[in-house]
Structures are given as C-alpha cells and as structure tokens.
Structure 1
Amino acid sequence: MKSITIDGSQRESVGKKSTKALRNAGQVPCVIYGGDKPLHFSAPELAFSKLVYTASAHTVVIALDNGEKYNAVMQDIQFHPVTDRILHIDFYQIFEKKAITMDIPVQVVGNSLGVLNGGTLRRPYRKLRVKAIPSKLPDFIEIDITPLKIGDKVYISELMNEDYSLVHPDNMVVCQVRRSRLAIVDEVEDEEEGEEGAEGAEGATAEAGADAPSAEGAAPQE
C-alpha cells in the first residue's frame, strides 16, 4: 500500500487555548494512539490534502521536527460543521508484525453481460473492511464484473485472499446486476411479438384451410 509522509511538530501544550491558536495559524492538532502513550503533534492543514481528499487508502509516515518517525493510519477526523475545515485528526500507530483493520476501496473492471443486456449494476459497498499486517494491505480490491448476467451477485466469500481477511459475513453481497424496468419492458414486447407471430401463423393456416376444397367437395358427382 502507498504511504504518505506528513511533516509535523510535537505539541508541548494541549489545552484549548493553544489548540485554538494552532487552528488560527492554519495548523491541525493531531494525536497518535497505539504506542506507549498518546503523542500530540500538529501539521499544516494542506499537508493532509492527499490523505483526506481522496478515495484511495494510504498509510502514513509522521515525521516530527525532533527527528522521530511513526508509521500510522488515520483513525478518525473531525471537520468544522460550516466551513468543512479540518479540526482534528486521530492516528493509530502501526507495527509491521501486528495486523490492523482498514477500509479499502472496491474497484470494478470489465463490462457486465447483464448490464449490456439492459440490467443495472448495484454496488452497495464502495469500501470493505480489510484486516492484515501493514505490508499485506492492498491499495484496492478489484472485482471483474464481465461474466455477471442479470440476477448474478458477487459475495464476500468470492473475494477471499491469502494475504488478508475481510471483516464481513461471507454471504454479504458486494455487487450485483439487477433487472431494470427497461429490460422487463423489452422482454414483454418480445413475448408479445412472439405470441402475435404465432397467432398470425395459426390464422393463416385456418384461412388457407377455409379456401381449399374439401375432399368430399372435390369428388365428382354421379
């Protein structure tokens, strides 16, 4: 998985007054959990743009001004309710031999046969919870929808991998191709045309039979 480096400064004071001063200066107060004790630091708001405003998943290297570096993942983020500015971010420190859980994006590839025939692709989950050691975390989970026909579904059990586990029930549907109203209308019209064609053929046969002379009528009279 790709990693983003964020340069920050360790915070000595964590009171409300100092936190407000940091935000006024364009800094975001942050905390790293998961180590021996919580570590408070701050970094410019712009430093988090590639981490926050993206659909991709990333791990983070937090490089502090004292020379220390911490590998972490973003655990929680708070935004201002009006301006949407970042108010606070919580990170969780990660270790190479310890498994962690992250939300990983789901990407679909290919052209579904069912969609080409008028069905609709439904994707109720854009991300999935994945558990693995940091080096085994995928950038995304890929699903090839090419063979999916109308009514077909992809379950969690079909996405199992040796490198990681999915923290969801095996029978959970990740995506499916559902029958659309357009496809139903097309089918009904096709059926009606088929019935009309059959009735027309029967009518033509009956009419031909009415015009043809019967065996009795064709026999000469004595």
Structure 2
Amino acid sequence: MNTVTIEGQLRSDLGKKATRQLRSEEKVPCVIYGGADSISFSAPIAVLKPLVYTSRFQLAEIKLDGKVYKCVVKDLQFDKVTDELAHIDFMELVDDKKVIVSIPVKLVGQSVGVKAGGRLVVKMKTVKVKSLPKDLVEHLEVSVENLELNENIRVEDIEAPNMEIMNSARIPVASVVMTRQLRQEEAAEGKKK
C-alpha cells in the first residue's frame, strides 16, 4: 500500500492567533487521534498535498520529534472562501484496534451488457469498512464481466476478506443501463414485427 511520509512539528500554542500564524507560514494545523492521547502538530501544505488531493486510499507515516505514527486521514477541513486546506484530523492505526475507513472500489473487466451496447454507470466510488490495520487494502476489486443489461452489482457482491462492510448490502455499486440508441433500435424492431 502506498505510504506518504510527513515530517511535522509538535504544536504548543493552540489558540486562534497561533493557528493564523501557522497558516500564514503555509503550514496546516493537524491532530492525531486514536492512540494513547491526542497529538497536535503542524506540517507544510506542500508535504500534505499528495495525501489530500487524490482519490487513492493511502497511509500516512507522520514523523514528530523522533517518533513515527502510522495513520489514515479521518477528516479534512477547507477554508470556505479560499478553498485552501485549513485542518486535517488523522486516525492513528493501533495494531489490535479496528478502524472505520472509506476504501475505493475498482471495477475490473468488460461487462457483457456493455458489449451488447449498454453503458456502465458507477453509483458508488468508495465503501466504508471496519477492519484491523493489517487487513487494510488500497482498493476493493469488483468484477463487472457477468453484468448484463439492466442489472446491478450491489454492496453485498463485494468480496472484502477480513473486513466488515458498513454500507447497506442492497445499495447498487454499478449498473449497466440501456443507451438511447439501443432503446430506439429495439423500438424500431418492435414496430417491424
């Protein structure tokens, strides 16, 4: 799994004035939760960009004063006016403690319904899972090869070894729908008969 290394500095001043000062230096205030105690730190915005501006599920290896923390991004906050990154919450990965994260769904294969003229519609790009840190994966693969016209693949069809999927089992992940052209062709054939 891809890991982004972040070198940060511990924060002692936690007020608004200190936070404004950090942001003026192009640093982002961050917090690590989930471990023995909460840790406040800051990191340069340039170092955080590969972790924030991506659709991939990645781990963060945060280095603070000689200690290394394995984490995942839990929450992001952006400035309402400038849309710049304002704050990040990280969840520390503890070996024997389950975490809830959103993992991307990767559709693989060419659908039978698409080959017949249908169009593949992606309805869910991520699923929420509960798992031990050692069982986390970069993405969950779902084969769409047997997907016929007007059929769905649902959350219950996703194979997630050693993970509990938190989404409702009946929610569609992807479906193959008829295109307008295919409907017109079927209607024209129906009139010929």
With the shorter chain as reference, the TM-score category is over 0.9
**Alpha-carbon deviation of 1:3?**
1.9
Q: Deviations over 1:27-76 (max 9, x none)?
A: 11111111232211000000111100111001211101x21111111111
Equivalent position of 2:175 in the other structure: 176
- Write the letter of the residue equivalent to 1:25: E
What is the CA–CA distance in structure 1 between the aligned matches of 2:90 and 2:161, rounded to whole Å?
27
Equivalent position of 1:22 in the other structure: 22
How many residue pairs match? The answer is 193
What is the CA–CA distance in structure 2 between the aligned matches of 1:90 and 1:169, rounded to whole Å?
26
**Alpha-carbon deviation of 1:162?**
2.6
Residue segments in structure 2 that go unaligned for 5+ positions in a row: none
Equivalent position of 1:8 in the other structure: 8
Equivalent position of 2:108 in the other structure: 109
**Alpha-carbon deviation of 1:95?**
0.6
Equivalent position of 1:43 in the other structure: 43
- Write the letter of the residue equivalent to 1:43: A
RMSD (Å) for aligned C-alpha atoms:
1.4
Equivalent position of 1:218 in the other structure: none
What is the CA–CA distance in structure 1 between the aligned matches of 2:38 and 2:154, rounded to whole Å?
39
Equivalent position of 1:60 in the other structure: 60
- Write the letter of the residue equivalent to 1:138: V
Q: SS at the partner of 1:73?
A: strand
Percent of residue pairs bearing the same amino acid type: 33
- Write the letter of the residue equivalent to 1:53: Y
**Alpha-carbon deviation of 1:117?**
2.1
What is the CA–CA distance in structure 2 between the aligned matches of 1:140 and 1:51, rounded to whole Å?
16
What is the CA–CA distance in structure 1 between the aligned matches of 2:70 and 2:107, rounded to whole Å?
30
Equivalent position of 2:34 in the other structure: 34
**Alpha-carbon deviation of 1:148?**
1.1
**Residue 148 (str. 1) matches residue 147 (str. 2):** yes
Query: More strand by proportion, 1 or 2?
Result: 2
What is the CA–CA distance in structure 2 between the aligned matches of 1:30 and 1:141, rounded to whole Å?
28
Contact 2:35 / 2:94 at 8 angstroms: preserved in 1?
no
- TM-score, scaled to structure 1: 0.82
- Write the letter of the residue equivalent to 1:44: P
- Write the letter of the residue equivalent to 2:87: H
- Relative distance call for 1:36 and 1:96 in structure 2 (3 A) is closer
Query: More helix by proportion, 1 or 2?
Result: 1
What is the CA–CA distance in structure 2 between the aligned matches of 1:132 and 1:75, rounded to whole Å?
15
**Residue 78 (str. 1) matches residue 82 (str. 2):** no
Equivalent position of 1:191 in the other structure: 190
What is the CA–CA distance in structure 2 between the aligned matches of 1:135 and 1:37, rounded to whole Å?
21
Contact 2:32 / 2:39 at 8 angstroms: preserved in 1?
yes
